[in-house]
């Protein structure tokens, strides 16, 4: 099932912890939607990727961004703010996926127009469930704005 003509769904995972990267990748592998996941390890790279700068000149435009908050160099909050300030990027749904349960982080994320905020469950099966539901919701249920990405 593909929303854009059989093209796999492009997902950008912004996450510095390789363990989490692998877990997320594994979780999406078990998913039902054909997807292609790109991974960057910090905020600076994330912005370069989204703006196709430098080594990311040929990067695909993601259909969904999974964003951790605590990142080296430029942290997730700044990345979120920049995406939502950028006319070309603001329509890309950003799912904040983080370990923080802090109320302040949650409010701040929504204030910066995060599309949703999810706390990483500690338990593996829970985590898998969560990733599953992200996939279900954002890649199946939700009607997203037409991507102008040409791939």
Residues of the shown chain interacting with another protein in the complex, contacts defined by CB under 8 A: 17, 19-20, 23, 26, 99, 120, 122-125, 127
Which CB sits closer to another protein, 24 or 115?
24
Residue 100 CB burial class (10 angstroms; 0-12, 13-18, ≥19): middle
CB of 14 to another protein, least distance (A): 17
Q: How far is CA 142 from the centre of its chain?
A: 15
Which CB sits closer to another protein, 82 or 105?
105
CB of 121 to another protein, least distance (A): 9
CB of 25 to another protein, least distance (A): 12
Which CB sits closer to another protein, 77 or 92?
77
E strand or H helix at 94, and its extent?
strand 94-98
- Per the rule left: phi > 0, alpha: psi between -120 and 50, beta: everything else, 135 is alpha
């Amino acid at each position: 099932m593909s929303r854009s003509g059989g093209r796999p769904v492009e997902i950008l995972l912004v996450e510095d912890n390789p363990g989490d990267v692998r877990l997320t990748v594994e979780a999406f592998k078990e998913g039902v939607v054909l997807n292609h996941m790109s991974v960057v390890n910090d905020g600076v790279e994330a912005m370069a990727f989204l703006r196709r700068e430098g080594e990311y000149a040929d990067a695909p435009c993601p259909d969904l961004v999974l964003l951790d908050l605590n990142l080296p160099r430029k942290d997730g909050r700044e990345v979120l703010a920049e995406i939502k300030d950028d006319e070309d990027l603001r329509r890309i749904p950003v799912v904040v996926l983080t370990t923080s349960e802090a109320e302040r982080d949650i409010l701040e994320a929504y204030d910066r127009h995060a599309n949703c905020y999810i706390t990483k469950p500690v338990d593996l099966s829970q985590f898998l469930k969560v990733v599953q539901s992200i996939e279900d919701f954002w890649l199946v249920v939700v009607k997203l704005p037409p991507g102008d990405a040409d791939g």
